[in-house]
Amino acid sequence: MVLDQQIPMEKAFSGTLVIAQRMRGQLDVSKIAAMGEDEFVTMCSERPAIHRFPPAMAKRIRQVCQVLSDDYDGRAAKTRQ
């Protein structure tokens, strides 16, 4: 839902697929959190960009991944301990 801002829903929902494809087929929250911010922004900005505003959205995605990795063992469904 992070990408669902100022773009069509279909484009927003396909963003995670594009990220996964660029990460060799697997969306890995821990790997995204461990990536440098500039590296992740560059990856998300490649054409086709993941969003209308790729740098801003890439930073937000990475922040969410950081929280998931740090506080939820990389799994959104896991409850905080």
Q: What is the pLDDT of residues 36-64, one digit of tens each?
A: 999 999 999 999 989 889 999 999 999 99
Q: Is residue 50 part of a domain?
A: yes
Q: Is residue 54 part of a domain?
A: yes
Per the structure, the complete domain to which residue 50 belongs is given by 9-71
Q: Is residue 4 part of a domain?
A: no
Is the Cβ–Cβ distance between 34 and 41 less than 8 Å? no
Q: What does pTM read for this prediction?
A: 0.84
Averaged pLDDT for residues 2-10 = 80
Q: Is residue 2 part of a domain?
A: no
Tokens of 39: 């590296």
Q: Is residue 27 part of a domain?
A: yes
Q: Is residue 38 part of a domain?
A: yes
Q: Is residue 13 part of a domain?
A: yes
Question: What is the spatial distance between Cα 1 and Cα 74, in angstroms, rounded to a whole number?
Answer: 17
Q: Is residue 46 part of a domain?
A: yes
Looking at residue 80, its pLDDT comes to: 63
Looking at residue 23, its pLDDT comes to: 95
Domain total for the chain?
A: 1
Give me the DSSP letters along 15-26. HHHHHHHHTTT-
Residue 12 has pLDDT above 70, yes or no: yes
